[in-house]
Amino acid sequence: MTKNDLINDVAYELRDSMTKEQIDRMKITLYVKLQDFELAEIKQLPMTIDHDNEWLMQRYCVDSVAAGLHTGTIRSYIGIIRKFFDHVGKNYKYVTAQDITDYLAIRSYRDRISHNYKSTIYRYLCTFFSWAFKKRHIQDNIVDGVDKVKQIKRKKERISDEEVEDIRDVLQTPKEKALFELMLSTGMRVGEISHLNISDVDLNHKRVTIWGEKTDTYRTGMLTPMAVKALRNYIGDRPGTDPLFIADRAPYNRLGKTSIEKMAKEMAIRGGVKRLPATVHVYRKTFASVLYRKTGDVLLVSKLLGHAKPDTTVQYYLIDDIEELQHKYNRVA
């Protein structure tokens, strides 16, 4: 199409709304204004894609998997992010720092969530929107305008040495003894314990092969003589293909996380430990603290716990342990 064709087409479209004199004046004006320009016909206009929140969350999942984040962690992130989007009712492009601030306030006062869970929501949302900004899915890094929510550091509770012996004294079945000694010997996570098969336990070499619940990699745990004895008694002559911990009744299915947690808590209550819920994670902290007090080796503790970074071990397992500090003092006093 030439410039003349274009100008004539415009004049034709406006013939009913303008006088002939006005059209002639317009044509002269267009001739003058367009003389320094070249016209090119566009065959097809580019599509404008308006992505939704689900699309962005899917992109985040893909990038998180590529970065090596554990699927369980990704699932936790998406759960919190989706709840936020459901609340604000906006496309991600229009979310503001005030939206995040208001949401955190509402969750605190309406839902009465703990301060540390509020801190977790803050951290997850900031990570997500910082990623979106870095990948240019949003124009502004909105998290800069959100006041930081710090976690409250608490004393890292564990089962004391005396309480360990109190619980050990009231264990009733070979399964309870095996679970108790395994937790204190390895510091395994509840999902890792549930995942174990008998073939993962090497009693001759006093070790266990652990599939990391959060790292998706194998690591080796060490078994104490008491753990070896308890496990040998519990396993008996069962084949190696069997799950390590099974139900007491037919069809003897693998024990899941809920059943293992229930056993861990009930053993502690029976032993008189009622000041804290003795979850598998508490036994894990107990293992970490005892091992550190014996060795003073943070890297060793971190490796046996299956942590990617020793900083995690120090921050969440070893800081503010009263017995650890007392032990340090006794060594130099």
Which ranges of 174-297 would DSSP assign to H, the alpha helix? 174-186, 190-195, 225-235, 257-270, 280-295
Cis peptide before 251 (omega within 30 of 0): yes
Q: Is residue 120 located within the same domain as residue 214? A: no
- How deeply is 307 buried, as exposed, middle or buried, from its count of CB atoms within 10 A (0-12, 13-18, 19+)? buried
Q: Is residue 197 located within the same domain as residue 60? A: no
* pTM for this model (two decimals): 0.60
Q: Is residue 100 located within the same domain as residue 240? A: no
Q: Is residue 262 located within the same domain as residue 118? A: no
Residue 214 lies in a domain: yes
3-state DSSP of 184-203:
HHHCCCHHHHHHCEHHHEEC
DSSP state of 59: H
Q: Is residue 41 located within the same domain as residue 59? A: no
Residue 5 lies in a domain: yes
Residue 328 lies in a domain: yes
Distance (Å, whole) CA 167 – CA 148: 41
Q: Is residue 120 located within the same domain as residue 26? A: no
Location of structure tokens 């229009």:
94
The token pair at 53 is 């929140």
The token pair at 275 is 């000041």
Residue 188 lies in a domain: yes
pLDDT reported for residue 68: 79
pLDDT reported for residue 188: 94
Rg of the chain (C-alpha set): 32
DSSP state of 318: I
How many other C-beta atoms can be found within 10 angstroms of the C-beta atom of residue 85? Answer: 18
Residue 150 lies in a domain: no
**Which domain does 261 fall in, by range?**
161-332
DSSP state of 93: G
Distance (Å, whole) CA 245 – CA 195: 9
Q: pLDDT in tens for each of the 333 residues of the chain?
A: 677 777 787 777 777 777 888 878 877 777 777 777 777 665 554 444 567 899 999 999 999 888 877 788 888 999 999 999 999 999 999 999 999 999 999 998 888 888 888 999 999 999 999 999 999 999 999 999 999 888 766 656 788 889 999 999 999 999 999 999 999 999 999 999 999 999 999 999 999 999 887 777 889 999 999 999 999 999 999 988 899 999 988 888 999 999 999 999 999 999 999 888 899 999 999 999 888 888 888 889 888 988 877 777 777 677 655 455 665 666 665
Location of structure tokens 């943070």:
298
CATH of the domain at 121: 1.10.150
- Residue 229, amino acid: K
Residue 154 lies in a domain: no
pLDDT reported for residue 105: 92
Total domain count for the chain?
3
Residue 153 lies in a domain: no
Q: Is residue 10 located within the same domain as residue 90? A: no
Q: Is residue 219 located within the same domain as residue 249? A: yes
Residue 174 lies in a domain: yes
CATH of the domain at 321: 1.10.443.10
Number of helical H runs and strand E runs in the chain: 15, 3
Q: Is residue 247 located within the same domain as residue 169? A: yes
